[in-house]
A and B are shown apart, each in its own frame.
Chain A
Amino acid sequence: MFKKILIANRGEIAVRIMATAREMGIRTVAVFSEADRQALHVLEADQAVHIGPSEPSESYLNMDRVIEAARRTGAEAIHPGYGFLAENALFAERCAREGIVFIGPPPEAIRDLGDKTVARRIMAESGVPVIPGTMEPSTDPDVLSREADRIGYPVLVKAAAGGGGKGMRVVRDPAELRDACTSASREAKGAFGNGDIFLEKYIERPRHVEFQVLADSRGNVVHLLERECSIQRRHQKIIEETPSPALTPELRERMGAAAVAAAKASGYVNAGTVEFLLDTDGSFYFLEVNTRLQVEHPVTEMVTGIDLVRRQLEIASGAGLGLTQDDVRARGHAIECRIYAEDPLSGFLPSPGKISYVHEPRGPGIRNDCGVYAGFTVPFEYDPILSKLITHASTRDECIDRMIRALKDYVILGVLTPIPFLVDILSSKAFRRGETFTDFIDTHFSPWNPVLEHVEAAALAYVIHASKEKRPAVQGTAAQEYSPWQALGNFRP
C-alpha cells in the first residue's frame, strides 16, 4: 500500500479522501490555490503545497504544478477526487509517465468514456441499450439540424466532453436549434476545452438511475447497486438516494448486469459509475460512465458498508477486489442532500462569501461530508458545493424523516443555502410517494415560496440581541448569562 498520496482537489471531497487515507495509515498531501490558503482541506492534510493563483487553470487544473507538488513531497499516488483533473486522460497518462499512480481508471478508458459519442458506440456494440441519437460529434449547424429532423423533436443538445449539465440544452422547436447548438458548444468549449456537441432524443419524464461499479486490474467487476438521482436543478443533482423507489428486484438485476457489461466493455478499472435513464415503461438507456468517484458516493457506502475510497486505494495499489457480487448486500435506505452556496429564491444563483456561523446536525444515522467552517470565505472561482448531508435509516420513510430533522438542525449563516428548499422537497407528498422524476422541481416547486413560520421568534431574537449589545456589561456575571437554568425564568424542558 502507498505510504503517501497527494489529493489533487479541494473542499469536501479532498477532506473525505484524507479521512480514509489517515485511517489506512497513509500520509496525505493537499494542494491549494491562493483563494484556498485557509481552506479546510489544507488544515486537515499532513502536508500542503501552494500551487498557484485562484484561477483553476493556474492551480487545480494545472498538471505541471500538481505533478511537481507530488514529486517534491514524494507522494506515490494522486487521487483526483471529482471535477478538475479527475476525468482528464492526459493527466492520467502524464502520471504514468512520471511514475506516479493515478488513483482512477486507465487513460484509455477515461478517453473512450469521456467522449460520449465513443462511449455510446462501445455500449451499443456490447449490447448495452443506448438512447437514439447521433453517433458522431459535430459543431456544424447544418449537420446537426438534419440529424435533429431524423431523430425527431424534442432533442437534447449535449457536450461530447460534458458533464454536470454544462453545454446541455433541450430544443423543442426546430427554429431554436441553431442558437442552442451555438451556445451549448461555446459553454462546452469554456468548461471542457472542447466544443463538440451531439444530439439525443429527449426523453420526457425520465428517472436518472446510476450503478456504482468496482473493477480490479485482474478483470473482476462487481456493481454496488444503484443510486436514484432524479431530483435535479439546472441539470445538476441535489438529492440522491438508494435504493431507488422505482426498481423492482428483477429490473435491478438487469440494470446491474448491464452496468457490469459496460465496465467490462470499456476495460474499466477502479471505481466508476454507469448512468442510465429509466423511462416510465421500465426500459432503460445507457447515458454515460463517470470515470471517477461520484459526489453522491456516500449513499452507497452507507447501505453497503463498503468504503469506496479505501477500495479505490487498494485497487490502485494492485490488490484484487476480494469481493463477489453475492458479497454485496444493502441494508436500509440512505439519502444525500447537496448543500450548495446558492439562493433557491433567485434561480439558484451562486452565493459566495464569508461563512459566519455553522451548526452541524448530529445523531444516529447522520453523516456530514463538509468542506467549510465558520470563518471561511467561500471563493467564487470554484464549484459552490459546501457539504453533503447524508442520512441512513432502516426504511425510506424513516430516512426521509431523519433527513428533514437533520436539515432543520443544520445552520449555515453568511452564505445562502438551499436547506429550506430541500426540507420542502423532502416533506412533499410526491417525494414521499417516490414520484421522483427529473422534472420534479419544475413540476412541484416552480415557483417555490418558503413558509415563514418563525417570523415572531426571529423578530424577538433581533430585539434580545440588540438589547444585549446596548446593555452595559456590568450587570450579572458571565456565568449567569450563560446558564439556561437561571436565565430562562419559568422555562423547563
Chain B
Amino acid sequence: MNYTVRIAGKDIPIQADLSEAGTCAAVIDGREVKAGYCIVSENRILIEIDGRTVSAFLAEGQDGLLVNVGGITYPVQDADVLAKAGPRRRGKELPQEVTPPMPSVVVRIMVSEGDRVEKGQAVAVVSAMKMETTLQAPYAGRVVRVNAAEGEKVMPGRILLDIEKEEDA
C-alpha cells in the first residue's frame, strides 16, 4: 500500500505491507521499518516500532484522522486527497476574509459601511469561551457591507465584513 500522509505540514511518503498476523514491513519517508501492530479497538492500535511499543489512539476529526501517540495528537491527512481537493489557504499570514477563527459571538464592529481601512486594522471583536479576539482587515480597502450585528452568533467562514480591496497605486 502506498500513501503520502501530511503530518504537521510535512508530506511523508509511506509504503507498507501489512500482514494478517500483525507484522508490517514499511518504508516511511525513505527509511525501512520493521513493525508490529495490533488493532485493539476502533480507537486504539498498538504499534511496535524499533523495539518500542506505543499506543496510538485515533478518531476522525475535521482535518483528517486524529492520532495521539505519547501525549501528542497528530492530525494526519492524506496528501493525495488534499492535492485533488485543490490548494487551501494555510500559514500564519492574515486570513483573506474577516471571519471568526471559531464559533463566536460578535462583541463589536468597529467600522461602518464606506469606511476606509488599512491592512491589519482592527475591524471587529468576537468572543468565544469568555475570550475576546480582534479581527483585522486583510488588506487596505473600503468597507462595502457589514454582514453581522453586535450580539450575533457567527461561525467560522461567515464573512462579517465585505471589504473592497484597494488597488496598489
Contacts and interface: CB of A to CB of B under 8 A. Distances in A.
Interface of A: 166, 187, 190-191, 234, 341-342, 349-353, 356-357, 359, 380-384, 407-411, 413-414, 416, 419-420, 423, 450, 452-468, 475-476, 481-482, 484, 486-491, 493
Given A349-B101, A408-B70, A459 B12 contact: yes
B102 A458 contact: no
A413 B129 contact: no
Contact of B103 (A357, A380, A414, A459): A380
A350 B37 CA distance: 35
B46 A488 contact: yes
B3 A191 contact: no
Contact of B22 (A409, A452, A458, A487): A487
A345 B57 CA distance: 21
B121 interface: no
A382 B129 CA distance: 5
A202 B128 CA distance: 29
Contacts of A410: 71
A420 B46 contact: no
19 contacts: A352-B128, A356-B60, A380-B128, A381-B129, A419-B71, A452-B72, A454-B70, A455-B8, A459-B14, A460-B37, A461-B47, A461-B69, A462-B3, A462-B67, A463-B26, A468-B39, A487-B22, A488-B22, A489-B23
A491 B53 contact: yes
Interface of B: 1, 3, 5, 7-8, 10, 12, 14, 16, 18-24, 26, 28-29, 31, 33, 35-41, 43-49, 53-54, 56-62, 65-74, 76, 78, 101-105, 107, 128-133
Nearest to B49: A457
A302 B146 CA distance: 53
Contacts of A488: 22, 36-38, 46, 48
Nearest to B133: A349
Nearest to B12: A459
Contacts, number: 194
Nearest to B100: A380
Given A489-B21, A491-B46, 4 more contacts: A350-B131, A356-B60, A414-B66, A490-B36
A452 B74 CA distance: 9
Contacts of B36: 488-491
Contacts of B76: 458-459, 461-462
